[in-house]
């Protein structure tokens, strides 16, 4: 039975009451419907089904101990396995208090009630329980916000470090690579002039020469990716970018030579359009598909899911592949420019580093995880309207630190702790 619609003292989180006596259910609803949304169930199975469906909106679960088919204790154990956060009460008779106390000591119960319960006493206990539950939820939200702020701070620090590294590498290596490329281009003409004909082992020179040229191109590409990715300014922001279309186009381009890999991009029809740098977002999408293609040597699947989060202010992309799993210890290092995958020792991580920086410059966040089904997952979020002005790291860092301090103060207020004036 779903809760009725009226103004509640605790409107966000309701109370699930499970009892096989209909009179008790009606009595409970009539007395406490002003307190919170009330969910009623006349059997253990009905109560469990209601909890499975609405557990994210339930703060307190109350179950009678003796019911046909399943005891309240067993039911509450099943409920805890689905979601351990809602506070659990057991209604019992005085003769069964030992079982209730044991369940309380085992951590199954928040508290227990004895029949017949006093309405005023029960309202006071339920108010305290719901208040405690709401406070815990608020604390969890504050912790998440604090973690997001720390993540932004770490991204800003990493982006600045990579920028310094890129500038140093470009300064010291570009000239050397230019000399090597010039020598490489002139070598065939010089060789022909020196020996006045074909070399003794043309296959050796052809293969060796090709390998050297490939390595020069590879080093040049790495430097270019580092240089391009670390530019703090220069976002060419345009409106109306369809991120799902960008990802689909990138997937078709990268996977056209790999029919053994199936990919799909799923997004709701009302997905908000982005404002951002279309070229950088397209490049990032191609890099993600190229990384997935590299680990799917024997074919496989790539799934991309896009959704609006945070009230439509951000878009979240979950990029999944069923290739060889990245070791758990390596997931935090996946975006480092010199991270080397064990199964791809010849490849550096500059592609994913460029993705990291593209997300950062757009004001978003990105991380690598292991999905619950074991697949590799890259999850990133982008604001629908990103930061567009150039921001120096020395300005961004104090602002993020201020946000962290603000969150800490709010956390103390939420716990009731006093703050110095």
What single DSSP character describes residue 260?
Answer: T
CB 34 within 8 A of CB 123: no
Does 392 have pLDDT greater than 50?
no
CB 330 within 8 A of CB 339: yes
CB 305 within 8 A of CB 317: yes
Name the CATH topology of 14-117: Rossmann fold (3.40.50)
Bridge partners for 315 per DSSP: 308, 382
With 0-12 CB in 10 A as exposed, 13-18 as middle and 19+ as buried, what is 414?
middle
What is the DSSP track for 346-379? T--THHHHHHHHHHHHTT-EEEEEE-TTS-EEEE
- Longest alpha-carbon distance in the chain: 110
Which is more confident, 139 or 409? 139
Query: Would you state the structure tokens that stand for residue 34, as one six-digit string?
Result: 């002003």
pLDDT tens-digit map of 116-162: 888 999 999 999 999 999 998 888 888 877 876 776 677 667 666 76
Q: Residue 58 belongs to what H/E stretch?
A: strand 58-64
Residues whose CB falls within 8 Å of the CB of residue 181, separated by 6 or more in sequence, listed in order: 216, 220
pLDDT tens-digit map of 343-385: 554 455 667 878 888 888 888 888 899 998 889 999 999 999 8
70: left (phi over 0), alpha (psi -120 to 50) or beta: beta
For the question of whether the overall pTM of this predicted structure is more than 0.75, the answer is no
Question: CA-to-CA distance for 263 and 252, rounded, in angstroms?
Answer: 9
pLDDT tens-digit map of 297-347: 888 999 999 999 988 899 999 999 998 888 888 887 788 766 666 555 445
Please report, for the chain, the start and end positions of each structural domain, with discontinuous segments joined by +.
Answer: 14-117, 232-398
Q: Residue 113 belongs to what H/E stretch?
A: strand 111-114
Question: CA-to-CA distance for 144 and 365, rounded, in angstroms?
Answer: 13
CATH number for the domain formed by residue range(s) 232-398: 3.30.565.10
Q: 10 Å Cβ neighbour count for 211?
A: 10
What single DSSP character describes residue 341?
Answer: B
Question: CA-to-CA distance for 92 and 89, rounded, in angstroms?
Answer: 10
Q: Do domains 14-117 and 232-398 have the same CATH topology?
A: no
Question: CA-to-CA distance for 361 and 243, rounded, in angstroms?
Answer: 16
* pLDDT on residue 377: 94
CB 13 within 8 A of CB 58: yes
Question: CA-to-CA distance for 276 and 267, rounded, in angstroms?
Answer: 19
Mean pLDDT of the chain: 81
């Amino acid at each position: 039975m779903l809760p009725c619609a009226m103004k509640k003292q605790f409107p966000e989180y309701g109370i699930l009451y499970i009892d096989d006596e209909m009179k008790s259910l009606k009595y409970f609803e009539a007395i406490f419907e002003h307190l919170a949304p009330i969910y009623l169930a006349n059997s253990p199975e009905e109560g469990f089904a209601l909890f499975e469906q609405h557990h994210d909106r339930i703060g307190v679960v109350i179950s009678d101990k003796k019911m046909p088919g399943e005891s309240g204790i067993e039911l509450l154990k099943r409920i805890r396995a689905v979601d351990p956060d809602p506070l659990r009460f057991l209604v019992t008779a005085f003769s069964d208090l030992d079982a209730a106390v044991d369940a309380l000591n085992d951590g199954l119960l928040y508290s227990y009630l004895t029949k017949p319960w006093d309405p005023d006493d029960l309202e006071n206990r339920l108010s305290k329980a719901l208040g405690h539950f709401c406070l815990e939820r608020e604390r969890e939200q504050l912790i998440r916000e604090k973690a997001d702020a720390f993540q932004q701070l770490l991204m800003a620090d990493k982006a600045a470090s990579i920028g310094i590294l890129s500038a140093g590498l470009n300064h010291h290596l570009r000239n050397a690579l230019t000399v090597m490329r010039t020598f490489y281009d002139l070598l065939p003409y010089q060789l022909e002039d020196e020996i006045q004909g074909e070399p003794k082992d043309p296959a050796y020179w052809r293969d060796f020469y090709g390998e050297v040229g490939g390595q020069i191109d590879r080093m040049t590409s790495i430097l270019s990716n580092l240089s391009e990715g670390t530019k703090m300014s220069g976002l060419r922001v345009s409106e109306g970018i369809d991120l799902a279309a960008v990802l689909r186009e990138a997937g078709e381009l990268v996977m056209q030579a790999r029919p053994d890999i199936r990919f799909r991009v799923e997004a709701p029809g009302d997905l908000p359009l982005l404002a951002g740098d279309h070229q950088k977002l397209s490049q990032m999408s191609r890099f993600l598909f190229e990384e997935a293609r590299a680990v799917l040597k024997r074919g496989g699947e790539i799934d991309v899911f896009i959704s609006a989060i945070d009230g439509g202010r951000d878009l979240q992309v979950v990029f999944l592949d069923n290739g060889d799993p990245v070791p758990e210890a390596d997931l935090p290092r996946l975006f480092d420019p010199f991270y080397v995958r064990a199964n791809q020792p010849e490849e550096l991580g500059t592609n994913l580093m460029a993705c990291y920086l593209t997300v950062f410059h757009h004001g978003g966040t990105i991380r690598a995880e292991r999905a619950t089904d074991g697949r590799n997952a890259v999850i990133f979020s982008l604001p629908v309207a990103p930061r567009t002005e150039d921001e120096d790291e020395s300005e961004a860092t104090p602002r993020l630190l201020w946000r962290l301090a603000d969150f800490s103060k709010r956390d103390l207020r939420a716990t009731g702790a006093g703050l110095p004036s």
